C-alpha cells in the first residue's frame, strides 16, 4: 500500500514539488486528514462493483481512497495545473480516469454511458468546491443520472438546509428541491483544521440517497417548484401573502389562491416553512388548475 496523499507531510511535499499555489476562486481547500477521508468513503458504501464519479480531485487525496475501494473512479477537474500532478500521484491506480472539464458543463450521462457501462452501481463522492455546491448538486439531481446517490462534503450551513425538517429555520426551497429527489442526511461535521488552506466556514458531509420515485407525484414539476419558491418568497409572510406576491398575476388571483389553499386544507395564515413536501404537492395541484 502506498503512503496516503492526504497526510500533511505528503501533501506539503507534493505541493512543493510542483510549486502549486491555491486558487481561492476555484474553492481549493484540500483535505489533509486520512481518517476523515476513510469515513467519507465508508458512508458511500462502495464495493468492487461500484463506479464513482468524483468532482474536483485536487491532488488526488480522496480519489486514491476511492480507487482502493471501488471498481472505477471518474474524476472531473477544472484546473489544468492539477492534471500533471494527478497523473503522478494517482499513477499506482489503473482504475482512475481524470477528465479535464467544468462539471457544470459536462455531459455526465454520456460519460457514464461510455466509461461506467460495466459497473452495477454508481455513487458521486466529492469534497465539493464551495462556491458552486448547490448548482453542482442540483445539476446532478435534475439530470436524472442513474446514480445510487451522493456523499459530499460542503458548507455545514448548506448541508443543514438540504437535510432540514419542516418548521425549522433551515427548511426552505433548497430543502424541498433536494428532498424531492433524495433522502438527505448530514452524516458528519468536519472541523476547519483538516484542510489546507483552512476554509472560512464549517463543513459537513451529507449523504443523499436517490428515491426510486420523486417524493411526491405532481402534474408539472416546474410549476410545483414555482409554488415552493413563491411560498418561501419572504419568510415572515403568510403563505397566502407570499403566493399573491410571488406567483405570476398572484394579486389578481387572490380568490383562486384562497380557494386552492382551502381545497388543500392549508390555513392561509401558515408560513411556507411549516408545510410538508406532501402539502406543497397538494397545494400545487390545486393551484395548477388556476395558473396553467
Contact assessment for residue 119 and residue 49, using Cβ atoms and an 8 Å cutoff = yes
Among 64, 77, 160, 285, binds ligand SAM (CB under 6 A): 77
CA–CA separation, 189 and 199 (whole Å): 14
Among 58, 172, 233, 250, binds ligand SAM (CB under 6 A): 58
Minimum CB distance to ligand SAM, residue 39 (Å)? 13
Residue 79 engages ligand SAM in binding (rule: CB under 6 A): yes
Among 8, 13, 84, 104, binds ligand SAM (CB under 6 A): 104
Residue 175 engages ligand SAM in binding (rule: CB under 6 A): no
Determine what percent of the chain falls in helix, strand and coil, rounding each to the nearest 5: 45, 20, 35
Residues 13-42 that bind ligand SAM (CB under 6 A): 26-31
Neighbour-count burial of 19, counting CB atoms closer than 10 A to its CB (0-12 exposed, 13-18 middle, 19+ buried)? exposed
Candidate ranges 124-132, 163-171, 213-221, 252-260; the one touching ligand SAM (CB under 6 A) = 124-132
Q: Which three cell numbers stand for residue 283?
A: 397545494
Contact assessment for residue 168 and residue 143, using Cβ atoms and an 8 Å cutoff = no
Minimum CB distance to ligand SAM, residue 145 (Å)? 16
Query: For 203, phi and psi rounded to 5 degrees?
Result: -120, 160
Among 78, 147, 190, 281, binds ligand SAM (CB under 6 A): 78
Alpha helix positions (H), 45-132? 61-69, 83-89, 108-115
Residues 257-286 that bind ligand SAM (CB under 6 A): none
Residue numbers at the binding site for ligand SAM (CB under 6 A): 26-31, 55-58, 61-62, 76-79, 82, 102-104, 127, 129, 132
Amino acid at each position: 500500500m502506498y503512503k496516503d496523499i492526504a497526510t500533511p507531510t505528503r501533501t506539503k511535499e507534493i505541493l512543493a514539488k510542483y510549486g502549486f499555489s491555491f486558487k481561492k476562486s476555484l474553492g481549493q481547500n484540500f483535505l489533509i486528514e486520512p481518517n476523515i477521508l476513510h469515513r467519507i468513503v465508508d458512508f458511500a458504501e462502495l464495493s468492487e462493483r461500484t463506479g464513482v464519479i468524483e468532482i474536483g480531485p485536487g491532488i488526488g487525496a480522496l480519489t486514491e481512497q476511492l480507487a482502493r475501494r471501488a471498481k472505477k473512479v471518474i474524476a472531473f477537474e477544472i484546473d489544468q495545473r492539477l492534471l500533471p500532478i494527478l497523473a503522478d500521484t494517482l499513477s499506482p491506480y489503473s482504475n482512475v480516469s481524470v477528465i479535464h472539464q467544468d462539471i457544470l458543463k459536462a455531459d455526465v450521462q454520456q460519460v457514464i454511458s461510455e466509461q461506467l457501462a460495466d459497473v452495477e452501481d454508481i455513487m458521486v463522492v466529492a469534497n465539493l468546491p464551495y462556491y458552486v455546491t448547490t448548482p453542482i448538486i442540483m445539476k446532478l439531481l435534475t439530470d436524472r443520472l442513474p446514480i445510487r446517490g451522493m456523499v459530499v462534503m460542503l458548507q455545514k450551513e448548506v448541508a443543514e438546509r438540504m437535510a432540514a425538517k419542516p418548521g425549522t429555520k433551515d427548511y426552505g426551497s433548497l430543502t424541498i428541491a433536494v428532498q424531492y429527489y433524495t433522502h438527505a442526511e448530514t452524516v458528519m461535521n468536519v472541523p476547519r483544521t483538516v484542510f489546507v488552506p483552512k476554509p472560512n466556514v464549517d463543513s459537513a458531509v451529507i449523504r443523499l440517497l436517490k428515491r426510486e420515485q420523486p417524493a411526491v407525484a405532481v402534474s408539472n414539476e416546474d410549476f410545483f417548484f414555482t409554488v415552493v419558491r413563491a411560498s418561501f418568497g419572504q419568510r415572515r409572510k403568510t403563505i397566502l401573502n407570499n403566493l399573491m406576491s410571488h406567483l405570476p398575476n398572484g394579486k389578481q388571483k387572490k380568490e383562486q389562491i384562497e380557494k386552492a389553499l382551502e381545497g388543500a386544507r392549508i390555513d392561509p395564515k401558515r408560513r411556507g416553512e411549516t408545510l410538508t413536501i406532501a402539502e406543497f404537492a397538494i397545494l400545487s395541484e390545486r393551484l395548477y388548475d388556476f395558473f396553467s
